[in-house]
């Protein structure tokens, strides 16, 4: 089956979760559109890294299906917040196992795709992941982060009006957590449990630049001005300016 048939399948699956409630249906559309953009980001990363053949085919499907669990998550729990419901990646794996998916993909390949789906939202990828699942998972994670940054920018700029995007964290002008700041300065992943306000969320996702696996993903983030835009929504104090300069140097030396 072609990639287009899988896109049609996921679209139909997502639309099965429409209820007629405009706000709820918009949330479903948001995640479907996100899935399609992550697929597009994934294809750009694959091209940039020269990854092709069967591995690229599986990576495209993994990017497309990575958020399959979001649709039943909203239907069952009424939220996209994993802390208040269920791990959407694990639910995605269970959902993919239960669906009558398009034919043409071998069972072992579906297992590889499901493994990438399961690992796409973990804090740190397991070192023991077999290949090509490890490589595919890295493509999914980078492609996903690129689009989440885009969506966050649209929210903080006022283009989107959906507080669930940032899990309800409030804007407190001038404030941010030292723990989040220090983690990003140390090039370490911040802990969501340390987030107290919207600026913490912005800092945490700015630090994602250090978590990208591919130089081409860093280049895409740079060309789109994603990190620059995130910093434009943060306080303009000396600590933030120093962090921005540090990240800009990292981008300069690590982009493809």
Q: What is the pLDDT of residues 154-165, one digit of tens each?
A: 999 887 777 667
Is pLDDT at 45 greater than 80 in this prediction? yes
H/E/C letters for each residue in 128-178? Answer: CCCCCHHHHHHHHHHHHHHHHHHHHHHHHCCCCCCHHHHCCCCCCCCCCCH
pLDDT 10s digits, 101-131:
999 999 999 999 999 999 999 988 888 899 9
3-state secondary structure of 244: helix
Cα-Cα-Cα-Cα dihedral of 125, 176, 31, 214, to 10°?
-40
Residue 18's contacts (CB-CB under 8 Å, 6 or more residues apart) are 24, 25, 28
Are 256 and 220 a contacting pair, CB within 8 Å? no
Least confident of 54-58, 99-103, 215-219: 99-103
Query: Is 53 a residue whose pLDDT tops 70?
Result: yes
Closest CA to 63 of 217, 190, 197, 247: 217
For residue 85, count other CB atoms closer than 10 A to its CB.
Answer: 15
pLDDT score, position 164: 67
- Cα pseudo-dihedral 40, 44, 49, 54, rounded to 10: 40
Distance, in Å, from the CA atom of 233 to the CA atom of 154, rounded to the nearest integer, reads: 11
DSSP type of residue 121: T
Integer CA distances (angstroms), 195 to 35, 39, 198, 233, in order:
26, 29, 8, 16
Q: What mean pLDDT is reported for the chain?
A: 94
Read off the pTM: 0.94
User: Is the pLDDT assigned to residue 1 strictly greater than 80?
Assistant: no
């Amino acid at each position: 089956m072609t990639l287009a048939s899988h896109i049609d399948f996921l679209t139909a699956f997502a639309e099965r979760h429409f209820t007629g409630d405009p706000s709820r249906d918009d949330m479903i559309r948001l995640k479907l559109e996100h899935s399609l953009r992550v697929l597009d980001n994934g294809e750009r990363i694959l091209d940039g890294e020269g990854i092709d053949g069967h591995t690229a085919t599986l990576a495209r499907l993994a990017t497309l299906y990575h958020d399959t669990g979001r649709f039943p998550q909203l239907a069952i729990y009424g939220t996209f917040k994993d802390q208040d419901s269920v791990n959407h990646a694990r639910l995605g794996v269970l959902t993919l196992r239960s669906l009558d998916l398009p034919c043409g993909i071998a069972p072992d390949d579906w297992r590889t795709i499901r493994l990438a789906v399961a690992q796409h939202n973990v804090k740190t990828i397991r070192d023991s992941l077999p290949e090509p699942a490890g490589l595919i998972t890295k493509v999914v994670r980078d492609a996903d982060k690129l689009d989440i940054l885009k969506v966050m920018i649209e929210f903080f700029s006022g283009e989107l009006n959906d507080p669930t995007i940032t899990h309800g964290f409030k804007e407190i002008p001038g404030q941010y957590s030292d723990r989040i700041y220090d983690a990003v300065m140390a090039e370490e992943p911040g802990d969501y449990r340390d987030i107290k306000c919207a600026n913490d969320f912005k800092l945490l996702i700015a630090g994602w630049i250090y978590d990208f696996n591919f130089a081409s993903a860093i280049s895409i983030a740079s060309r789109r001005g994603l990190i620059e835009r995130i910093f434009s929504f943060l306080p303009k104090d000396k600590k933030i300016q120093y962090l921005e300069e540090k990240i800009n140097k990292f981008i300069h030396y690590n982009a493809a």
